Chains A and B, each alone.
Chain A
Amino acid sequence: MRLLFGTVFALAIAAAVGLGATWMALTRGSAYGGVNIGAWTGWPKNGTLGIDPYARATVARTGELPVGSGDGVAFYARTDDVGLPLDGRCDVLLSGTTPQARFWTITLYNPEGRLVANSTQRQGFTSQEIIRNADGSFEILVAPRARPGNWLPTGGVEKYLLVLRLYDTPIGMGSRTGSEAPMPSITKRACL
């Protein structure tokens, strides 16, 4: 009787903890193996045959295709530089420069990876569209209401994330720390 009870107890715990751990690992976005630069995290290895099993499972679950390493690298930001989650009801300033790349794009998604609807049909910028300062740096204002200059509308959504994709770039496998790569800073300003 005790054996039966123990077995059922152990199996129940094993199933709950094991499946729970899998769910957590795949939905929270495992941070390991990533290259962190400021608020940005990229997983250059995900675009190669060396992709780790967790990233493979995540990709299989979400249905996305990772950017191939001969193509480019994607960096994701879910928070600002001090770690506060990006909130579409606040004004957020992106400023600085990007690492060397032939082209880059910056895009705003909701947490599920969908584009966010807004009145201007703008979901991002390409390196060619952006208005730059004289020194080549740029500022993008990610804000719910219209702003002069490079305005990236949030559509007022509660949560969003920014994806900076660098195409034809030397950044990737070689740079583990990424300390030498300049990424745009993310600063939160006033909220609605």
Chain B
Amino acid sequence: MIRLALWLLGALLLAGVVHLATVLLLPRMATQDAYARVSGIAPINTVIAIPPPTPEKALMPFMDPAFQVSVCRYDLSQGPLKFSVPITQAYTSVSFYTRSDVAYYAINDRAAGRKVIELDLMTAAQRAELPENEEITAADRLIVASPTTTGLIVIRALAPESGWIPAVRNALAAAQCRMQ
């Protein structure tokens, strides 16, 4: 009886290990995560419009249908990126995700405080390599450091009413994401 209880205890401890290991490993193993889904339609370092979600088809679950969305799948291995998007009348935001879909930074039009949201995206190592004298100009240059070499920049612009959609799309079409 005691022997059985010991085996059971061991089994449960092992179950805990299995549980934690699968939870921690799943984000690395997932083949249908948002990054993978975006990779199917978006080339590297290019802004691509994501088709608005419909009941029949949506690139990702839980997309907000009131928003027009564009995405830049970035790869910083060749150097930093320059990103810019003109803001729209209502609301524009730019969110940054790591390769494993973790949102590490997001900024909206009001926080940016200009007609165009402009920033430089680089890895921590590339930022450290910035020459000293550029630090002075860095004050009016927004620098975002990516924790991973690849990831996603997601631009979301709200069309508060359906009549706004063409204007919002136009603004997003002017978004740029390219090597310096």
Contact = CB atoms under 8 A, between A and B. Distances in A.
Interface string B52-80: 01111010111111110000000000000
B158 A115 contact: no
A22 B23 contact: yes
Nearest to B6: A6
Q: Is the interface of A mostly helix, strand, loop or mixed?
A: mixed
B158 A103 contact: yes
A75 interface: no
B17 interface: yes
A33 to B, nearest CB: 14
Interface of B: 3, 7-8, 10-19, 21-24, 26-27, 30, 32-34, 36-37, 53-56, 58, 60-67, 90-91, 93, 95-97, 100-108, 110-111, 147, 152, 154, 156, 158, 160-161
Contacts of B27: 56-57, 59-60
Contacts of A191: none
19 contacts: A10-B8, A13-B12, A14-B11, A15-B15, A21-B19, A22-B18, A26-B26, A47-B103, A56-B27, A61-B32, A62-B62, A63-B32, A63-B34, A64-B61, A65-B95, A66-B103, A69-B106, A114-B55, A167-B108
B93 A71 contact: yes
Interface residues of A, number: 61
A48 B7 contact: no
Given A129-B160, A129-B161, A17 B91 contact: no
